[in-house]
Structures are given as structure tokens and as C-alpha cells.
Amino acid sequence: GAVVSQHPSWVICKSGTSVKIECRSLDFQATTMFWYRQFPKQSLMLMATSNEGSKATYEQGVEKDKFLINHASLTLSTLTVTSAHPEDSSFYICSATSGASTDTQYFGPGTRLTVL
Amino acid sequence: AQSVTQLGSHVSVSEGALVLLRCNYSSSVPPYLFWYVQYPNQGLQLLLKYTSAATLVKGINGFEAEFKKSETSFHLTKPSAHMSDAAEYFCAVSERDKIIFGKGTRLHILP
């Protein structure tokens, strides 16, 4: 149980284009989803927290207009990187918690974004 | 704000030897503590978590961790390392509805 998927697993795009990453909870309803960014050989940096049907809460220093987060249902959250630049290249990981166990986050496999 | 410190960004042990990955936390109240493992190009997998029940927590893949309040530590151990244990390990502490991660320790297993 508690499986989280991400799609795509990797994506390459041109500078200036937008990229959408999906995060799905496959076997539970995710009351809260989190988006992280991980640079090579570094820890995870929390970007934002989203609750279903509400606006996402962004961490300090994260541009909300650049990283659009939508949490339209209890099983799906999307992260859209708008007008991507090479410095946005990174590993993006989502996680989700369920109402039954809000202290434990279940992580997706991550999405590798490369902006050319 | 809560934080965790992982001592040693890289740890190397021989196959079959004891694995010890160190983690210290800063918290004025009993925290929830976690250990996650990350294999290359993958997400994080929960190894174990401490939620103020038993101080010795057993996790998956033979790992366990002991919560020591007096030392504010939550070190991860495994009696006998296996080649498949080579990965990045993250200690984490919960803060309200967020998880704060340590910087990670890369575990290398020597044949």
C-alpha cells in the first residue's frame, strides 16, 4: 500500500517552454501533497505544500508564478515549471500523506528535468 | 526550527560489517524521527520511524535505530552490511506538517 507515482520519470525540454509533472497516489487518498527539489548529491528542498482544493503554500524563495502547483483531486497533484531555464534542471520529487497517517510521507520515484 | 545533523557525508564499510549512520536532532519536544533510503535516480523509501513509542525501532531490510533523548540522537544501524545497502540515507524530523531532512549520508559497501 501507499504507492505514489510520478509521470514522466524524465523529461528534456527547450529553454522557454513549460513542463508539467504529475504526482498520483495510487491506493490512498492524499490529503496533502508535497513537492521537493533535489540538486545532485544534495538533500531534498521542500518547494511547496498543497492540500486538495486549496492553493499551495510555497516555501520562502520559491517563485509561485514559476512553479505552478495544482491539487485538483485527492489522488493527483501537478507541478508545472513555466518558462523553464537551464537552472531549473533538477530532480523533482513529490510525496503524499493520507488522513490516516499524517506524520508519514510516501514518496514518488522522482522526475528528472533537463532544460536545454 | 527543528533540524537534523548527519555526521559524515560518506561512510564506507566492508560487506558483512556493522553499519552505523549517525543522526542528531535538535528539538525541545519529543519529535517524530525518520530514516529514508534513496537509491540512484529514485525517490525515497521509508526505512523506519520513531513516534514516541519504543525507543528501539526496527525497520525494513534489517535496519534499526535507537532514540536516545539524553544524546538527542537517532543513529541507524544494521548488524551486517550487504552490497545492496549501498545508497543515500537521509535522517529526518517532523515539524508540524513538514519533514526536515538532513544532508544525507552516502553508504559505500566494500567487497
A22-53 pLDDT tens trace: 999 998 888 899 999 998 878 889 999 998 88
- CB within 8 Å: B45 and A107: yes
Where is average pLDDT lowest: A3-12, A87-96, B9-18, B19-28?
Answer: B19-28
CB atoms within 10 A of CB A16: 10
Residue A80, pLDDT > 90, answer yes
Beta strand B87-95 with B73-78 is unpaired
> Confidence class of residue A102 from pLDDT cuts 50, 70 and 90?
low
Identify which has the larger pLDDT, B27 or A58: A58
Identify which has the larger pLDDT, A75 or A101: A75
C-alpha to C-alpha distance for A94 and B95, rounded to whole angstroms? 18
**Residue A40: what pLDDT?**
81
**Residue B91: what pLDDT?**
95
Kindly state the average pLDDT of the residues B25-54.
85
Kindly state the average pLDDT of the residues A64-86.
94
CB atoms within 10 A of CB B1: 8
Q: How far is B45 from chain A (nearest CA, A)?
A: 7
- CB within 8 Å: B34 and A104: yes
C-alpha to C-alpha distance for B33 and A15, rounded to whole angstroms? 40
> Confidence class of residue B51 from pLDDT cuts 50, 70 and 90?
confident
Kindly state the average pLDDT of the residues B78-99.
91
Helical (H) or strand (E) element with A29: none
- CB within 8 Å: B97 and A102: yes
- The DSSP 8-state label assigned to residue B31 in this structure reads P
Please identify among residues 28-87 of chain B the ones whose CB lies closer than 8 Å to any CB of chain A.
Answer: 32, 34, 36, 41-46, 49, 51
**Residue A43: what pLDDT?**
86
Nearest chain A residue (CA) to B42? A109
**Residue A101: what pLDDT?**
62
